[in-house]
Structure 1
Amino acid sequence: MLILKIILGISFFATLFTFAMSIATFFFSVRKSTPDQFLSDYKVYILMPVLNESSVIKDTVERFFNDSYYSYKNNVHLIMIDDRSTDGSTDILRNLNRKFHNFHVIKRTFPAAQNGKGEALNAGIQYVKENNTWDPEKTIVGVIDADAYMTIVDINKMVNVFDQDDELAMAQSRVAMLQANNWLETLQDFEFVVPNSLLQNMRDHFGNAAGAGNGQFFRLSDLSERTPWGNALLEDFEISTRILLKDKKTAFVPDVLVYQEPVSKVKNFIKQRARWAQGSLDCLKLLGKKTVASNLGFAAKTEMILFMCSTFLSFIIILANIFSLVSIILGLAVVNYSAPWWMISTLLLGLLLVIFSIIQYYRYINISIFQAIGCVFYFYVYIILIIPIVLIAVWNFITGHNSWDKTSHGLKESEE
């Protein structure tokens, strides 16, 4: 009984804290619009790791180079890092490499290949350092997934962000889905457009803007290590944390947007999020103590540690909410029984948080009021999926399963 009370108490205060912070994120001011003029004194390298992306890679490369700017601007290079694909991606890249200027393909082999996205990115940055003749202070390195897309206008905006701040080491764009055709895709778009963007904006004010997968950009001079990326499965958060621990500056740029393919099937979604959840545990193990001992502000440290612990906290909150709901239902059915006020409060706070977030999504995206209301129901289905996600993540973390298990997106899912 004591353990149950402790779990419910943690859940109540964690939910209350999450609710308060979620409301607070809405009131942080947003960065002013960024200029997008072409700056000829900068060189940009876009790194794209590739592992079995044959269904999307041709469209990704052609879309990148068909952008009108690329026909006459030689300052932007695309580097594909083929991590020993086995689905024909290698042959597709070989043919594309003959077609486009400023296109480079790195072909990795065993035993170096398929040891994680971080290792693939390290191979890409090593290639940049060996071949770049530009001033490292004016060389910008971007990371975009092989199923994602960012316009040259937004890439130029990122360059301008670095040009305006000589101390900036890393900048993260806003993320959205390329399309949303079912409830799971819609909720991924909602998650990135509203909660993630508001969280990143808050982090920006705290001074700890973090990497979020797609759309990260770095100043080459701040990637001085031979292997800047580590082995955590959440390599984006890991590298941004390592940068912050060196007292370097990061930023979130909300008016720069990268589009990525959503995950369409529940099985693949669980696989993807289990990897991310395990990655947060990796970061807690590798960087938790260093974060606490760093020169970062109290708010930044608190947010980062809570994020690293989010796998456990989410699981506790969900189990406690389920227990509270069952208790309330029993209270309606059993004579002389009533659920404690804090059980009811936990559920109400969670519901208010969902409604608040959906309202913001309705404001940002052109959806109908009925779609917005439907998102409330879908969101609770979405939350239930966290239970198997956490169990898989914790099991893999304990057993040392730390491989880069690729998640199928979009076209690839439809072909399965």
Structure 2
Amino acid sequence: MSLELSTLEILNTLAFLLCVTFCAYVVGIMVIFLRSDRSGGGDPAQFSWHLLVPCRDESSVVGDTVRGLLRDCPQATIWCVDDASTDGTGELLDVLSADPRVRVVHRVMPDARQGKGAALNAGWRAIRADLPADADRSRVLVGVVDADSRLDPGCFTALAGRRYFSRSRISAVQIEVRMLDCGQSRSRTSRRWWSQLLIRLQDMEFRGPIAAMQELRRRTGSVGMGGNGQFTRLDVLDRIAQQHGTPWHGALLEDFELGLHVLLAGGRTEYCPETWVAQEALTKLRLLIRQRTRWAQGSMQCARYGWAVLTSRHIRNTAAVEITHFLSAPWTQLGGTIVYLGCFGVLGYYIWQTPSGLSGWWAHGGWGVLPLVVVFGILPFAVWGLIYRARCDRSLSVPAAIGLGLGHWLNSYVQCVAVWWAFLRLLTARSDWQKTARSQDLVQVALTRGAASPRP
């Protein structure tokens, strides 16, 4: 038994250290999040606002999005980049461009469909070409809004505030992301209860732990950009392009990659919780896993910037440590999965080899594992349900908030699956990605199939 005990002790020690480190991190970001304050707004008229809307087969959603932006953001020019869509998106955008505030950039094959970053670069070029030569590009702000989104009408006022673009040293700002229920439950293909739960879990994740991580990054100087609701000064995008050819690049996490380039170029990034952008939530588990796989693989791809971050004179030490922690997260999760599974495997073998089996192991103190599982394994995730209720939705009952927190704990295992899938894709040199279908598209497919099916 000595070898078995030794192996179990090593695995238990590694698992314990991983758990303690994770719990300390959760407590840290939770305290910072709960103590965070809000800043006042400013005058958006001092800036020129340009919104990039990348569109690839978005005919089911982009019309409402553009009309909403025209209504809620009248001072903005909206640049819709049609990435060789085949579903009528280009024609719909041409109709919308009857409003002079809407500009359409049509991309054609073979240059099109090279990823979101390439589409954003096309929009950036169009903005640069449209501006007069003497324009103050430090006051030209370029935002990215997904084709399925709604932007807070007070967004520009918040971003013009003294904490954000009113400070000349702030180069880019990420705003809070929320989740939309697209209303599929009112269609013939009624959404099941777990789809509603997935929507809530995603909204809680973005407005809870992800927002808390961004609050920590505000203090370390390492705020990350997201794929939706990021705003950057045009002169900073130009500076990055001078060094690297284009502002956005080829990583599957092109938004975070841009934020790294902003910091490496000597800029500062900020997080703005005073305003928000809302996007369509995913309602199917397989789509959620695929999305998180893309995020994990994109983070793995961005690991190549690790040395540049650590040695950069523009990035302070606290920011370098936090960025390194983020870049190492998927690799830590890979190792952690092996450690935890190994720990349970050896423990199970030890219980099986014990003469009195499970009952004897339990009677001799094995029950003590349960409090450790609750404290280190469940509580760091489950607590976010109550925090979400306190900060975001007081209409949620306490039992429902606790249940949502437990759902967040179970949902964390999705990340384990996603990390391993991402790792396998990385090993096989696969960096392609299929665009996630919109819920409206899925509904239409379901209705079409239903209409085509013979009646009994």
Q: In the TM superposition, what are the counterparts of 1:111-130 in structure 2 within 5 Å?
A: 111-130=110-129
What corresponds to 1:30 in structure 2? 36
Deviations 1:124-152 (A, max 9, x none): 11111111123101101101111111133
Matched residue type, 1:172: Q
What corresponds to 2:88 in structure 1? 88
Question: Matched residues in 2 for 1:390 and 1:233: separation?
Answer: 14
Deviations 1:20-72 (A, max 9, x none): 12211233342532315342x321100111111111011111111123x62xx
Q: Alpha carbons of 1:305 and 1:144: their partners in 2 closer, same or farther (altered >3 Å)? A: same
What corresponds to 1:142 in structure 2? 143
Matched residue type, 1:30: S
Question: Matched residues in 2 for 1:96 and 1:357: separation?
Answer: 41
Shift of 1:176: 0.9
Q: Which runs of 5+ in 1 are unaligned?
A: none
Shift of 1:184: 1.0
Residues 225-234 or 376-385, more deviating: 376-385
Q: In the TM superposition, what are the counterparts of 1:110-259 in structure 2 within 5 Å?
A: 110-133=109-132, 134-160=135-161, 162-179=164-181, 182-224=196-238, 225=241, 226-259=245-278
Q: In the TM superposition, what are the counterparts of 1:244-393 in structure 2 within 5 Å?
A: 244-285=263-304, 287-295=305-313, 296-318=315-337, 320-321=339-340, 327=347, 333-336=358-361, 345=372, 348-364=375-391, 365-366=393-394, 367-393=396-422
Q: Alpha carbons of 1:187 and 1:316: their partners in 2 closer, same or farther (altered >3 Å)? A: farther
Deviations 1:335-388 (A, max 9, x none): 247659789636521222123222211212231222212213322331222233
Matched residue type, 1:32: R
**Paired residues of 1:43 and 1:140 also in contact (CA < 8 A):** yes
**Paired residues of 2:79 and 2:102 also in contact (CA < 8 A):** yes
Q: Alignment partner of 2:143: what SS?
A: strand
Deviations 1:225-247 (A, max 9, x none): 14111111001110101111222
TM-score where L is the length of structure 1: 0.90
Matched residue type, 1:63: G
What corresponds to 2:78 in structure 1? 78
**Paired residues of 1:50 and 1:80 also in contact (CA < 8 A):** yes
Aligned residues: 408
TM-score where L is the length of structure 2: 0.82
Matched residue type, 1:393: A
Shift of 1:274: 0.7
Question: Matched residues in 1 for 2:340 and 2:25: separation?
Answer: 19
Q: Alpha carbons of 1:392 and 1:243: their partners in 2 closer, same or farther (altered >3 Å)? A: same
Shift of 1:313: 2.1
**Paired residues of 1:270 and 1:388 also in contact (CA < 8 A):** yes
Q: Alignment partner of 1:26: what SS?
A: helix
Shift of 1:308: 1.3
**Paired residues of 2:172 and 2:270 also in contact (CA < 8 A):** yes
Larger Rg: 2
Question: Matched residues in 2 for 1:239 and 1:10: separation?
Answer: 34
1:408 aligns with 2:437: yes
Matched residue type, 1:20: A
Question: Matched residues in 1 for 2:309 and 2:10: separation?
Answer: 27
Q: Which runs of 5+ in 2 are unaligned?
A: 183-194, 352-356, 446-456
Q: Alpha carbons of 1:202 and 1:97: their partners in 2 closer, same or farther (altered >3 Å)? A: same
Q: Alignment partner of 1:82: what SS?
A: strand
Q: Alpha carbons of 1:64 and 1:395: their partners in 2 closer, same or farther (altered >3 Å)? A: same
Residues 337-346 or 83-92, more deviating: 337-346
Q: Alpha carbons of 1:240 and 1:86: their partners in 2 closer, same or farther (altered >3 Å)? A: same
Question: Matched residues in 2 for 1:54 and 1:10: separation?
Answer: 50
Question: Matched residues in 2 for 1:171 and 1:7: separation?
Answer: 42
Matched residue type, 2:136: D
**Paired residues of 1:15 and 1:346 also in contact (CA < 8 A):** no
Question: Matched residues in 2 for 1:217 and 1:4: separation?
Answer: 49
Matched residue type, 2:308: K
Q: Alpha carbons of 1:387 and 1:21: their partners in 2 closer, same or farther (altered >3 Å)? A: closer
Question: Matched residues in 2 for 1:260 and 1:408: separation?
Answer: 13
**Paired residues of 1:54 and 1:88 also in contact (CA < 8 A):** yes
Q: Alignment partner of 1:27: what SS?
A: helix
Question: Matched residues in 1 for 2:110 and 2:19: separation?
Answer: 45
Q: Alignment partner of 1:182: what SS?
A: helix
Deviations 1:283-325 (A, max 9, x none): 013x111112223333322221221122222344355445656
